[in-house]
């Protein structure tokens, strides 16, 4: 959840200028839109002139001579304005959508490059907010806000010009009223923005309350605090009611006030105009045009002030998006590495050496970017190709650190990680990552078919290869259960499958990739015995002849591995084979006993 607590700042040009590069590519569209707006607005502003013409030429003299050509001209004019409005809407919609498409893409691509450390500290919800809603808000602000602004200003400009041409003496009245109305509207809009921000905050708190009230319902019932929860919610909800009414009240006050100003202007026009007509200095037609102007210039003023204050609040979104785009990428390949191996989006696979799977840690010191304690201090470990390394320890003890470094998701603070004897920084990230098979405890699938998901491991695999990989880890049993077999949709995040099934699919995915290095985060969640057996089979298939890191929860896996690392509080406290560690009688042996106990209980 994101509580907006930003202060209202003035309109800051520098913030908007950050978006300048996006405008450059859209110059043509912007120009076209401007021309169309100019035409349409000029046309609308000229409507009162028709009234004036009709009054002066037909009504006052009492004749219908020339009314047919007049009607025809007006008709044509209206059609032209209509067509302009059509293009205007279409062009602006295009501008908005293209702009948001480009900014969104930039955000997405940047997120692909940002290190995992960034992803770990920023929630998915927050990032989605940046990529989706902020970009949309910015671009709609730019296209519709700006166009509204341009339209309103143009409309005022045209209206004032026409009025000045018709009668400077009457025009002056409206010219004085316009800024006055503008100031009133502006003052209100600023207040409205502050209040509506408060309303939004309250609204997200209310959502939070519902969330807590519902997810915590079991706890609330056992503690019998339903009434307390409801009372707290009522307070919150009542606040929301009060603030919403306030905000509506401001709105309700602004419009009549500004409109009244317009009507006062109308009265003055009537009075002055009437006097002038009486002195034969003005004709009826002009009065009628001014009556229309007095009414129609007020709305654009409200618009302008509204847009400007909206723009002020949209700045927050721009700052957030540009903040994301400017977020420094800390794990980057050196220029000479990119030159030889290519980058993530343009790899030069022809220059890639095959990965054998030897991993060594050489005097590695490491602390997480958000932590201040070293979790690895002068850690050295040589893992020859084909070794199975089990990492054991309590939940949250920091078992992933070794894996994160070996995979270069993080880089050591000091020291080196070597892959096949060379510093992993000497080769590109993609080179290493393309040689990894990664199976997570909570397997992540993408929406699509089972085939799609397995093929994620190797994009150019044929259907036969996919199915072969699947049958190797018994993932084909899932396909037989489902109506569409391998082409069955797994649903969003794979939710149509059970956790065990998802795991099997992710095994197949990794097997298809046929990687020299394997990372496996075993599941602790209880899976039915049948699936459990399948998974055990799958694992033993996969580990053959590969370097593998297993964050292990199952005794059988641990006991069978070549090397066991015991992690406590983020640090490696013991290392050795099962026998060695058991004989040592330290952390491992007590951990082992506890795990044996659990197994018996289940």
Partner 1 sequence: MFKKKIWKMLLSFTHGIKRYFLISILAAAASSLMSFLTPIIVGFTVDNVIGGGAQSSLPGPIMSLYNFLSSRGIFGSKLAICAIFAALCAIIAGSFNYLSRTNMAKGSESMINNLRIKLFKHTQSLPFEWHSKNQTGDIIQRCTSDVETTRRFVFQQLIEVLRTVIMLVMVMIIMFTLNPIMALVVTVFLPIIMLYTVFFFKRVADKFLECDEAEGELMVRVQENLTGVRVVRAFGREKYETERFDEKNVAFTKKWLSLGGTYGQFWGISDSVSAMQLLCVIVTGSLLAARGTLSFGELLVFISYTQMVAWPVRQLGRVLSEMSKTGVSLGRINEILEAPGETDPPDALEPPMDRDIEFKDVSFSYDVETDQQVLKNVSFTIKNGTTFGILGSTGSGKSSITYLLNRLYEIGANSGAITIGGINIQQINRKYLRKNIGLVLQEPFLFSKTILENIDIASHGQDLGKVREKAAIAAVDDNIMSFSKGYETIVGERGVTLSGGQKQRVAIARTLMMNAPVMVFDDSMSSLDMETDAKIREALRIDTAQATVILISHRISTLMKADKIMVLDEGRVAEIGTHQELIDKNGIYRRVYDLQSGIDDER
Question: Segment 94-123, which members bind partner 1 (CB under 8 A)?
Answer: 94, 96-98, 100-101, 104-105, 108-109, 111-113, 116, 119
The number of C-alpha atoms within 13 Å of 62 and in the hemisphere containing its C-beta is: 0
The 121-140 contact track toward partner 1, x by CB under 8 A, reads ---x--xx--xx--------
**Is residue 371 within the footprint of partner 1 (CB under 8 A)?**
no
**Restricting to residues 474-503, which ones interact with partner 1 according to CB under 8 A?**
492-493
Over the Cα atoms of the chain, what is R_g? 35
For partner 1, the binding residue among 161, 230, 363, 524 (CB under 8 A) is 230
For partner 1, the binding residue among 31, 245, 334, 584 (CB under 8 A) is 245
Task: Please choose, out of 68-76, 187-195, 309-317, 537-545, the segment that lies near partner 1 by the rule CB under 8 A.
Answer: 68-76
Distances 253 to 185, 186, 263 between C-alpha atoms, Å: 10, 13, 15
In the complex with partner 1, the residue whose CB is nearer, 17 or 210, is 210
In the complex with partner 1, the residue whose CB is nearer, 120 or 413, is 120
**Is residue 291 within the footprint of partner 1 (CB under 8 A)?**
yes
For partner 1, the binding residue among 147, 152, 167, 292 (CB under 8 A) is 292
Given a contact cutoff of 8 angstroms between Cβ atoms, the answer to whether 173 and 269 are in contact is yes
In the complex with partner 1, the residue whose CB is nearer, 12 or 98, is 98
**Restricting to residues 247-266, which ones interact with partner 1 according to CB under 8 A?**
248-249, 251-253, 255-257, 259-260, 262-264, 266
DSSP designation for 447: S
List b or e across 273-302, with b for residues whose CB sees 16 or more CB atoms inside 10 angstroms. Answer: beebeeeeebbebbbbbbbbbbebbbebbb
For partner 1, the binding residue among 179, 208, 371, 545 (CB under 8 A) is 208
**Is residue 9 within the footprint of partner 1 (CB under 8 A)?**
no
Three-state SS for 362-374 is EEEEECCCCCCCC
For partner 1, the binding residue among 21, 90, 339, 481 (CB under 8 A) is 90
Give the strands of the sheet with 571-576, arranged side by side: 436-439, 517-521, 547-551, 388-392, 563-568, 571-576
For partner 1, the binding residue among 58, 157, 352, 374 (CB under 8 A) is 58
d(CA 173, CA 290): 10
d(CA 257, CA 156): 19
For partner 1, the binding residue among 12, 237, 449, 471 (CB under 8 A) is 237
Contacts 24+ apart (CB under 8 A), 37-42: 37/88, 37/147, 37/150, 37/151, 37/154, 38/154, 39/80, 39/81, 39/84, 40/81, 40/84, 40/85, 40/88, 40/151, 41/151, 41/154, 41/155, 41/158, 42/154, 42/158
Four-residue CA torsion sign, 179, 180, 184, 185 = negative
Task: Please choose, out of 19-27, 86-94, 162-170, 316-324, the segment that lies near partner 1 by the rule CB under 8 A.
Answer: 86-94
**Is residue 83 within the footprint of partner 1 (CB under 8 A)?**
yes
Task: Please choose, out of 147-155, 362-370, 427-435, 461-469, the segment that lies near partner 1 by the rule CB under 8 A.
Answer: 427-435
Q: How far is the CB of 14 from partner 1 (least distance, A)?
A: 28
Task: Please choose, out of 14-22, 382-390, 469-477, 592-600, the segment that lies near partner 1 by the rule CB under 8 A.
Answer: 592-600
Backbone torsions φ then ψ of 11, nearest 5 degrees: -70, 120
For partner 1, the binding residue among 22, 34, 50, 157 (CB under 8 A) is 50
In the complex with partner 1, the residue whose CB is nearer, 486 or 592, is 592
For partner 1, the binding residue among 11, 25, 168, 217 (CB under 8 A) is 217
d(CA 102, CA 135): 9
List b or e across 114-143, with b for residues whose CB sees 16 or more CB atoms inside 10 angstroms. Answer: bbebbeeeeeeeebeebbeebbbbbbbbbb
**Restricting to residues 141-200, which ones interact with partner 1 according to CB under 8 A?**
none
Please work out the total of residues on this chain that contact partner 1, with binding judged by CB under 8 A.
151
In the complex with partner 1, the residue whose CB is nearer, 186 or 456, is 456
Backbone torsions φ then ψ of 40, nearest 5 degrees: -65, -40
* Contacts (Cβ under 8 Å, ≥6 apart) of 431: 341, 347, 352, 353, 355
For partner 1, the binding residue among 59, 121, 165, 172 (CB under 8 A) is 59
The 397-426 contact track toward partner 1, x by CB under 8 A, reads ----------x-x-----------------
Backbone torsions φ then ψ of 568, nearest 5 degrees: -140, 135
**Is residue 228 within the footprint of partner 1 (CB under 8 A)?**
yes
Tokens encoding 304:
């302008």
**Is residue 71 within the footprint of partner 1 (CB under 8 A)?**
yes
In the complex with partner 1, the residue whose CB is nearer, 8 or 54, is 54
Matching residue, tokens 């046929």: 514
In the complex with partner 1, the residue whose CB is nearer, 306 or 315, is 306
**Is residue 223 within the footprint of partner 1 (CB under 8 A)?**
yes
Tokens encoding 184:
């009133």
**Is residue 380 within the footprint of partner 1 (CB under 8 A)?**
no
Task: Please choose, out of 221-229, 307-315, 332-340, 385-393, the segment that lies near partner 1 by the rule CB under 8 A.
Answer: 221-229
**Is residue 279 within the footprint of partner 1 (CB under 8 A)?**
no
Q: How far is the CB of 467 from partner 1 (least distance, A)?
A: 19
**Restricting to residues 534-563, which ones interact with partner 1 according to CB under 8 A?**
none
């Amino acid at each position: 959840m994101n509580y907006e607590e930003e202060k209202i700042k003035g309109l800051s040009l520098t913030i908007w200028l950050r978006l300048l590069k996006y405008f450059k590519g859209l110059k043509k569209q912007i120009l076209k839109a401007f021309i169309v707006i100019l035409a349409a607005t000029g046309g609308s502003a000229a409507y009162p002139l028709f009234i004036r013409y009709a009054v002066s030429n037909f009504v006052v003299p009492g004749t219908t001579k020339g009314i047919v050509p007049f009607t025809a001209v007006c008709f044509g004019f209206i059609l032209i304005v209509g067509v302009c409005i059509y293009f205007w809407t279409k062009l602006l919609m295009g501008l908005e959508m293209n702009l948001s498409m480009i900014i969104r893409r930039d955000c997405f691509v940047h997120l692909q490059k940002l290190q995992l450390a960034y992803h770990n500290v920023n929630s998915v919800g927050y990032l989605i907010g940046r990529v989706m809603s902020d970009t949309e808000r910015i671009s709609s602000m730019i296209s519709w806000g700006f166009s509204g602004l341009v339209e309103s200003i143009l409309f005022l400009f045209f209206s004032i010009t026409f009025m000045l041409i018709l009668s400077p003496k009457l025009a002056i009245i409206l010219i004085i009223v316009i800024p006055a109305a503008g100031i009133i509207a502006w003052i209100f809009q600023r207040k409205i923005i502050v209040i509506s921000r408060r309303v939004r905050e309250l609204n997200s708190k209310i959502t939070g309350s519902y969330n807590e009230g519902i997810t915590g319902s079991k706890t609330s019932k056992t503690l019998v605090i339903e009434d307390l929860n409801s009372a707290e919610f009522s307070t919150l909800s009542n606040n929301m009611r009060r603030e919403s009414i306030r905000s509506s009240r401001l709105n309700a006050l602004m419009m009549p006030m500004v409109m009244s100003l317009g009507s006062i202007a109308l009265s003055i026009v009537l009075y002055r105009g009437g006097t002038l007509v009486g002195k034969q200095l003005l004709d009826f037609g002009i009065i009628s045009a001014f009556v229309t102007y007095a009414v129609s210039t007020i709305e654009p003023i409200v618009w302008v002030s509204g847009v400007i204050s909206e723009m002020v609040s949209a700045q927050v979104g721009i700052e957030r998006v540009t903040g994301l785009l400017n977020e420094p990428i800390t794990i980057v390949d050196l220029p000479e590495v990119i030159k030889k191996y290519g980058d993530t989006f343009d790899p030069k696979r022809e220059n890639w050496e095959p990965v054998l799977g030897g991993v060594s840690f050489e005097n590695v010191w490491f602390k997480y970017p958000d932590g201040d304690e070293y979790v690895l201090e002068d850690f050295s470990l040589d893992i020859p190709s084909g070794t199975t390394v089990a990492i054991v320890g309590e939940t949250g003890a920091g078992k992933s650190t070794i894996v994160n470094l070996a995979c270069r998701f993080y880089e050591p603070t000091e020291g080196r990680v070597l892959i096949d004897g060379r510093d992993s920084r000497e080769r590109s990230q993609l080179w290493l990552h393309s040689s990894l098979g990664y199976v997570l405890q909570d397997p992540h699938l993408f929406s699509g078919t089972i085939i799609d998901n397995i093929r994620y491991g190797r994009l150019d695999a044929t259907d036969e290869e996919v199915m072969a990989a699947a049958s190797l880890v018994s993932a084909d049993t899932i396909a037989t259960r489902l109506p569409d077999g391998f082409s069955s949709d797994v649903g969003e995040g794979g939710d149509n499958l059970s956790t065990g099934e998802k795991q099997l699919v992710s095994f197949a995915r990794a097997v298809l990739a046929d990687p020299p290095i394997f990372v496996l985060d075993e599941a602790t969640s209880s899976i039915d015995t049948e699936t459990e057996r399948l998974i055990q089979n799958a694992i033993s298939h996969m580990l053959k002849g590969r370097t593998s890191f297993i964050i292990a929860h199952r005794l059988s896996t641990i006991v069978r591995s070549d090397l066991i690392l015991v992690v406590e509080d983020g640090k490696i406290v013991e290392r050795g084979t099962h026998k060695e560690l058991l004989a040592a009688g330290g952390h491992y042996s007590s951990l082992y006993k506890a795990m044996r106990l659990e197994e018996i209980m289940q």
